[in-house]
Structure formats: structure tokens, C-alpha cells
């Protein structure tokens, strides 16, 4: 009897514990599995590339000449700040200026002839109306007047042509900026199409980065970019992707990283700088672009 009592004291607590465990399992089964901590979002990859600092297309201009001639004057040196319309150089146009003066004199002469022949036509017309002049006389007066008009038109055309040549002899800057190159000197002969100067607006620069084509799907407009350059240790500048071309092209920059393939085709991605930098035009830079996560 005493042994039975001891056995019951052991079995009953165990049975109660088993029932409680079964109840808890049923409750958990109704409410669903316990949620696991959410996995962290995939980190967007950084796209690394090399590039150069360039000016915007309309902010870097090579100024040439349409004429063949001798450089008579040079008004600027390399490094000079110039305004739009400011003189850069002038070709010798002394012969054209003399011809222009002669053409203007011909215009004055032709205008005087035309006034005379117009008066003749009016006078002969009055005489013919009074039967004091023939039709032949009137026709001759009209012919002389029309000839004078034609000569005036030719003289005026000559003035316009020579004036254009004289204007082209004076070469001016089409933009405001800094003279980066000025390859000509006084007394030097130049041909049509030769470069006179290169002018760039250094306040309008951006980066052209050669992004490997296999990263093309990860580039997004407006993506944040970090720009660094050798010689500026510890410094970086922020930019944003502003243009993604629709075509890939051959790599123009030899990669500084020997592990990066040299024959890969690239996207020439344009990056707008959001802050001033001390970088120089043409300087090589490294960029890190915040790309979209793979599969997005």
C-alpha cells in the first residue's frame, strides 16, 4: 500500500507535465510557426571603374580659322581667362581691306549712276507722252537704268563678301573660359581648318568613366558616385550618374589594375560632379558607383 502511494506521487506530476506540453503544442499549431528574424536586404554592389575628367561638349572648344593666311597678331597667352567674343588672334587681311574699300567706292559710284539713269527714264517718258521722244529712246533709257541697278547689286555683293573675309580674319572666342592651348605665333602661316586656340570653361566639368559592359545592367541614372585620384590622398568627391550611353565601345584607358581585362568593351558613363574639385582636365580618376542589387 505504501509503495502504491509513492508511485502515484511520481506518475501524477509527470502526467500533468505531459498534458501541459501537448496543450502548448496545440496552441502553437493554431497560431503558426514562430517567425524567424527577417534576413537583411541584399547590399547593392559597388561598381568600380576608371575614367578621366572632361569638360562638357559645349564647354571645350577648339577655335580654328576658315581662311588661309599669315598670323598678324596674337592677343592671348595660354592660361588667360577670356570672355565670349574676346579676340584671340588676327590674320593679315590688308589686301582684303583694300579691296573692301574699293568695293565700297564702287557702290557709291553705282548709286550715283542709278540716280542719273532713273532721272533719264522719267524725263524721256515725259517727252514720249508729249510725242517729243521715240519709244526707242525710252527703251534705251530703261536699259541704262537696269544696267546701273545690276552694277550696284554687284558692287554691294562684293562689299558683303569682302566684309565677311575681313571679319573671319579676326578670330574670337565663342565661349567664356580659359585658353588651354594656343599653338600659333605671329608670322606663322596657317591654312583653312588649322587650330588657333583651345578654350575650355573649367567650371563645367564632369567624369567620363569606362564601366565594364558586364556591369551595364547595374548602372542607374542618379546613382551616387565617389571619385578619387592619385596625388590627392585621403580626398574624395561626390558625383551622380547623369548619362548612360546606349552603345558600348572599345576601352580607351589602359587599366591600372593588372587583374582587370584590357579587351573588355565598356560603357562611357557620364558622371556629374556635385562639388568643386582641384582636378585637371584629362586627369585620370577612379570611381565607385552605387549600383542596383543584382537581379533588380
How far apart (Å, rounded) are the C-alpha atoms in residues 114 and 123?
14
pLDDT digits (tens, 9 = 90+) for 49-72: 999 999 999 999 999 999 999 999
Q: Hey, what's the cell of 193? A: 581648318
How far apart (Å, rounded) are the C-alpha atoms in residues 184 and 91?
11
Which residues, including other chains, have CB under 8 Å from residue 71's CB and lie 6 or more apart? 89, 90, 91, 92, 184, 185, 186, 187, 188, 189, 190
pLDDT for 258 equals 59
Q: Give the Å distances, CA to CA, from 267 to 48, 57, 208, 218, 251.
A: 12, 18, 9, 12, 9
- How many CB atoms sit inside 10 A of residue 295's CB? 7
* Residue with the larger pLDDT of the pair 209 and 40: 209
User: If you average pLDDT over residues 281-294, what whole number do you get?
Assistant: 83
Q: Rg for the chain (alpha carbons), in Å?
A: 43
DSSP secondary structure string for all residues of 233-257: TT--EEEEEEE--SS-B---SPPSS
Residue pointed to by grid coordinates 493554431: 30
pLDDT band at 262 (very low <50, low <70, confident <90, very high): low
Q: In order of start, what are the domains of the chain with their CATH numbers? A: 46-56+204-290 (2.40.30.170), 59-202 (2.40.50.100)
pLDDT band at 10 (very low <50, low <70, confident <90, very high): very low
Phi-psi region for residue 184, left (φ > 0), alpha (ψ -120 to 50) or beta?
beta
pLDDT digits (tens, 9 = 90+) for 218-248: 999 999 999 999 999 989 999 999 999 999 9
Please check the confidence at residue 150 and state whether its pLDDT lies above 80: yes
pLDDT for 253 equals 77
User: If you average pLDDT over residues 186-199, what whole number do you get?
Assistant: 95
How far apart (Å, rounded) are the C-alpha atoms in residues 288 and 211?
10
pLDDT for 1 equals 45
Amino acid at each position: 500500500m505504501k509503495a502504491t502511494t509513492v508511485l502515484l506521487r511520481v506518475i501524477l506530476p509527470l502526467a500533468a507535465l505531459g498534458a501541459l506540453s501537448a496543450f502548448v503544442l496545440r496552441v502553437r499549431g493554431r497560431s503558426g510557426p514562430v517567425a524567424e528574424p527577417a534576413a537583411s536586404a541584399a547590399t547593392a554592389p559597388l561598381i568600380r571603374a576608371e575614367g578621366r575628367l572632361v569638360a562638357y561638349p559645349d564647354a571645350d572648344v577648339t577655335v580654328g580659322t576658315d581662311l588661309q593666311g599669315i598670323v598678324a597678331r596674337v592677343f592671348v597667352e595660354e592660361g588667360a581667362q577670356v570672355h565670349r567674343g574676346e579676340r584671340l588672334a588676327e590674320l593679315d587681311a590688308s589686301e582684303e581691306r583694300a579691296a573692301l574699300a574699293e568695293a565700297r567706292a564702287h557702290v557709291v559710284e553705282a548709286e550715283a549712276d542709278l540716280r542719273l539713269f532713273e532721272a533719264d527714264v522719267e524725263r524721256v517718258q515725259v517727252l514720249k507722252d508729249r510725242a517729243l521722244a521715240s519709244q526707242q529712246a525710252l527703251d534705251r533709257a530703261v536699259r541704262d537704268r537696269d544696267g546701273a541697278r545690276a552694277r550696284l547689286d554687284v558692287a554691294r555683293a562684293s562689299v558683303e563678301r569682302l566684309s565677311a573675309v575681313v571679319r573671319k580674319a579676326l578670330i574670337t572666342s565663342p565661349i567664356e573660359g580659359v585658353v588651354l592651348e594656343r599653338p600659333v605665333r605671329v608670322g606663322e602661316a596657317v591654312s583653312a581648318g588649322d587650330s588657333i586656340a583651345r578654350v575650355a570653361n573649367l567650371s563645367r566639368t564632369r567624369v567620363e568613366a569606362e564601366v565594364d559592359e558586364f556591369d551595364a545592367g547595374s548602372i542607374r541614372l542618379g546613382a551616387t558616385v565617389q571619385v578619387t585620384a592619385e596625388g590627392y590622398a585621403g580626398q574624395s568627391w561626390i558625383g551622380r550618374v547623369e548619362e548612360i550611353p546606349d552603345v558600348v565601345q572599345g576601352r580607351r584607358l589602359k587599366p591600372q589594375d593588372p587583374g582587370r581585362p584590357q579587351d573588355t568593351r565598356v560603357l562611357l558613363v557620364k558622371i556629374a560632379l556635385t562639388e568643386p574639385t582641384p582636378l585637371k582636365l584629362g586627369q585620370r580618376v577612379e570611381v565607385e558607383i552605387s549600383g542596383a542589387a543584382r537581379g533588380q
